[in-house]
Amino acid sequence: DTAVSQTPKYLVTQMGNDKSIKCEQNLGHDTMYWYKQDSKKFLKIMFSYNNKELIINETVPNRFSPKSPDKAHLNLHINSLELGDSAVYFCASSGPGGELFFGEGSRLTVL
């Protein structure tokens, strides 16, 4: 009965490919996020969606595009993958109090 679930957990792919990571939350939260964690464990916000509207778009390449079919889902699509995209990507959601609930992460390795 996972609150925030994301798939796949591991993703290994070649440079130039396009890939997607899916995220679903069953907490009824209005806002969902994508964070990127680099090799030094630094967590940086990439996007957030509130009621299907993009409200933050940090300075990430436009090869990254979040897609939200409904309030419970926020998927991350990445085009033309580069070596520097290798990282762990975390989906999260937040309720009115502001506390974030994270998924287990998706480790992306670009070869």
Partner 1 sequence: GENVGLHLPTLSVQEGDNSIINCAYSNSASDYFIWYKQESGKGPQFIIDIRSNMDKRQGQRVTVLLNKTVKHLSLQIAATQPGDSAVYFCAENRGGADGLTFGKGTHLIIQP
Task: Select the residue interacting with partner 1 from 8, 44, 82, 111 (CB under 8 A).
Answer: 44
Between residues 57 and 80, which has the closer beta carbon with respect to partner 1? 57
Query: Beta strand pairing status for 10-13 and 106-110?
Result: parallel
Whether residue 8 is preceded by a cis peptide bond, meaning omega within 30 degrees of 0, is yes
Contact flag: residue 75 with partner 1 (CB under 8 A): no
How many C-alpha atoms does 107 have within 13 Å on its Cβ side? 4
Closer Cβ to partner 1, 51 or 80, answer by number: 51
- Considering only residues 8-37, where is the footprint of partner 1 by CB under 8 A? 31, 33, 35
* CB of 16 vs partner 1, minimal distance in Å: 28
Report if residue 89 touches partner 1, rule: CB under 8 A.
Answer: no
Q: Are 34 and 54 in contact (CB under 8 A)?
A: no
Size of the site for partner 1 (CB under 8 A): 25
CA 89 to chain centre: 5
